[in-house]
Copies of this chain bind each other. A is one copy, B any other.
Amino acid sequence: MLAKPSIKRSANTGIADEPSELRMTRQRREVYRVLLAQRDHPTAYDVFMRVKDGLPHISLATVYNCLEALVEHDLVRQVNFDREPSRYCPNLEEHGHFHDRDTGVIHDVKFKPGIKLADVLDLPHGAVIQDVEINLRGQLSLA
């Protein structure tokens, strides 16, 4: 995924401020820690369950808020397969996802070295790409 600038405008002036720092609260730190600890592309609810070990009073809404904050500050990527619950991935390298229909496991899929998207796709003239999502589905043949 390419970087997305997270601009905020002050309510008073309407002038663009610096992109604000992410305040690392206990909840956000724990959500992020959980994502790094087990990189299996958990859903928000999965994260909620895992975070409760360390923060038993955290709410699901807070998990959603934390995930949104982490995504907006480009520490975490949101991964959507069709209309299933969103999943979250702390791998910041440009990569796609392969969903194994048999096991449900989602594998990270890297580009082969030296490949750029503009090399393989016939983009509209003047297109500036800000975000790339590559989602594959299939099976892992056991042969």
Contact = CB atoms under 8 A, between A and B. Distances in A.
The quantity of this chain's copies bound in the complex is: 2
Contacts of A128: 138-141
Interface stretch (A45-53, A56-64, A117-125): A117-125
A112 B107 CA distance: 26
Contacts of A129: 98, 136-138
Summarize A's interface: helix, strand, loop or mixed.
strand
A115 to B, nearest CB: 5
B130 A121 contact: no
A126 interface: yes
Interface of A: 78, 80, 82-83, 86, 96, 98, 100-101, 107, 109-112, 115, 117, 119-143
